[in-house]
Each structure stands twice: as C-alpha cells, then as structure tokens.
Amino acid sequence: MFDCKVAYYVNNNIQHFPPVLSLQKQLPGPIIVRGKNILEFIQKNYPEVAERTFFIRNRRKARQFLKKHQMRVVVYPAFQSLNFGLSVEIFHGGPSDKRYLENALISLYDLVLFPGEKCRDKVEKAGLLNHIVDYKVVGYPKFDPLMNESLDYQPLFDNEKPTILYAPTWVSMAKQGATKHRFSLHGESSLPLWGIKLLENVPESMNFIVKFHSLVHEDGNSINKQMEEYVKEHSLQDRIKVLHADNILQYMDQSDVMISDMSATCYEWFHFNRPIIFANPAPEHYQPSDDISSNTFAWRAGDIINKEEDIALLLNKNLQEDPHQEIRNNIFHYSIFQPDGNATQRQVKAIEQLLEKTKDLPYKKFIRQSFFNHLKRIVKVQFYLKRKVDKLAGLE
C-alpha cells in the first residue's frame, strides 16, 4: 500500500502536525494519530493527506500496523516512541527556552534532527549528546515556505494599521509546595497575568492578533474564554482577532511586532527580523539571561513588559525603532541553522541515509534487531540517564 517506508506518529495536538506536513510531502508514508480531534482536523484542513492518516490510539496496534506495512522508519515531532524500527526525532518546538531538550528520552532515537546549534549545545550541556545514536543539525523546515517565498494566505485585516501578534505559551501549573521550581505559579505562560490587560491596553491605532497555543483549550471558563468574551462584549472584532490554529506562520508574516513569553514561537519570529516584546509571567522572578539553559535566554532580544503601563509605551517604541536587532539576529542564527528554505530537503536526505543503512536487511531480521536495540536504550534511560538528568540544577 505504501511505497515509502517512512511513517509518522503524531499525538492529539494540532501544533505537532505542521513539522510532519512538510516532511511527508517528500516522504509520503502513513500518518498515525492518537486522537480523533486531530484526525478530524486533518481531514478538514488537509484533505490531500487524509487518506493516509490513521487513528490508532493503542500503541500495540500501532506497532502491528507498522509491521503489516513493513515500515522501517518512524518520525516523531515530540518525545514519544513506539520503540519500533528506526526512530527519528524532528521536534515541534525544539528552539524553545523551556527545559524540553534536556530529556533522557532523546537517547531513544536512531537519529535526532536539530533545528540549530543552540539545541545541540543545550543537549550537550545536559550531558546527553554523547548518548544519542546519531544526530544532524538541519534547520527549521516549518519556515521553509517563508524562506522560499511559497507562503500563501488571506490577511486578517484590510487597513493600514500596524498589527501586533500575541502568542503566549500554554499554561502549566507548579506543584503545591514545590521548591526551587523554575516556573511561576502559573508556569511559563504570560496568559493568566497579561491576557486581559493586553486587550485593555493595546492602542486603538493598532490591529491585534491573539494566537493561542493548542493546549489552551477553547471550552470552559478559562482565561482564553474570558478574552474571547471581552472582544465580543466591547465589539472589538474589527481590530482584534482571537484564534486557535495549528500553524502560526501566516499570522507572524502579517504582523509588525510580536508579544510572547517563553515559547518556541519567539525563535520562529526571529525569521522576520522584526521587534519582539516579552510579557513577563512573574516580574518578581524572571529576568534575561545569557545562559542557554535558562528559560529567558531569548529575552535579551527585546523589551520586557513588567507592569501594565509598559504595554502601550513599549508597543509604540518598537513600532518606531528596533534597538535589539543586532543581538536578536545573533541569537537567531545561533538557534536556526541555514534559514534558506531548504531545511526540509536536509531532513529528507538525513532520513534517506538512515534508511539506506538497513535496506538490504531482511525485514524479519530488521524488526528483531531493532527490538533489541530499543530494549537496551530503554533500560539505559530508566536506570542511568533519567537519574543523571534529574540531578541537573533546578530539577531535584
């Protein structure tokens, strides 16, 4: 059924799909999803790949499916693994300043494709790089359409006003009584503290786009729902758009300044060479850092909102000047390898080279060999690497 022996395994998170979408156009294998929500989303928004997208929640059944179709490589956009065949990690938010890459699970993969040198250096600093079977630094495929000028969309606004984009990360909660916790009480997201205040303080002379993280749910009486209601109650729909979407690229392209916090979107925004402002989730706790393991490493690239009066002041300032351009671009090129529109092709080449290594190995022998390889890695993670990572400062 599938000539391509590369499959994709995606959780029930629409933001995990864009990195897969670009790659599977070149290597069109089956896409396994673990949730009906993302299945329906793909069927509605990407009908061209719907026929090779399969909902399989059970991991054992997923492995059976892969074996039936003699898949050899499985690509993951997050730290998940079916422990089947050859595993490739491509990330969905790799450049993030969160403690995401410093994860012992990174050693489970046969190939890790880093978006830039910073990601690689973070893993090395955590003492994990030498435990990865193989890795390559390839760039950031999600932004290839911008760099090769193939991006196409309909703008949200038809006026001459400057546009501000607000893209906060998702809200995670610190455990009660946690000590030395690197989060504020509501995680690394600025949304609970600044969401409504931004709506109240962005000047009427500006358009405003709010793009929620996919883990900020649309239902309930949460802050995102309150923001949606605020826009309706004050009849602000003509200049404020509140969105739930899988890909932020088109909204960035039509914006002049972005506001974010500790999200990978900060590094994505750097592609545009435009000013960024950081909304501080805990002004009494966070400040910019030059430590690549810090969750505020990117903050040296822009101004920071610490109090409500900062909002309009900093927006007007950054629309008139760009004082952080040099350091922002330095961080960008350290974090994103060769932003030339060809990152997907480098991913494809790396995966094809991995496939080539086992192409002459009979499938039954290949499956048996890969099973024992995964088993050895799992034992190493559980009894050695996980303890090693947990001893890192701030994680005890």
Q: What is the pTM of this model?
A: 0.91
- Supply the CATH number for residue 90's domain: 3.40.50
Does one domain contain both 308 and 165?
Answer: yes
pLDDT band at 307; cut points 50, 70, 90: very high
Q: Are residues 171 and 259 in the same domain?
A: yes
Which residues does 61 contact at the CB level (< 8 Å), separation at least 6?
none
Per the prediction, the chain carries an average pLDDT of 91
Chain segment 87-113, per-residue pLDDT in tens = 999 998 778 888 788 889 999 999 999
Q: Are residues 243 and 368 in the same domain?
A: no
Do 378 and 307 lie in one domain? The reply is: no
**Strands 86-89 vs 73-76: parallel, antiparallel or unpaired:** parallel
Domain match, 107 and 237 both = no
User: Are 35 and 85 contained in the same domain?
Assistant: yes
Q: 276-279 and 111-114 as β-strands: parallel, antiparallel, unpaired?
A: unpaired
The Cα 287–Cα 159 span in angstroms is: 36
Domain of 352?
A: 6-140+339-390
- Whether 41 and 59 map to the same domain: the answer is yes
Q: Tell me: the pLDDT tens digits for 286-305?
A: 999 999 989 899 999 999 99
Per residue in 197-224, pLDDT (tens digit) is 999 999 999 999 999 976 655 544 488 8
Could you tell me which residues come within 8 angstroms of residue 153 by beta carbon, excluding any fewer than 6 positions away? 250, 253, 254
At 190-202, the pLDDT tens digits run: 998 999 999 999 9
CB atoms within 10 A of CB 286: 22
Name the least confident of 128-132, 138-142, 183-187, 300-304.
183-187
204 and 170 both lie in a single domain:
yes
Domain membership flag for residue 147:
no
What are residue 190's phi and psi, to 5 degrees? -85, -5
12 with 35: CB under 8 angstroms?
Answer: yes
Residues 61 and 208 in one domain: no
139, 342 Cβ separation under 8 angstroms: yes
- In the chain, how many domains are there? 2
pLDDT bin (cut points 50, 70, 90) of residue 227 is very high
| 117 and 162 housed in the same domain | no
Position 33: which residue type?
A: V
Which amino acid would we find at residue 141?
P
318-357: per-residue pLDDT in tens?
999 999 999 999 999 999 999 999 999 999 999 999 999 9
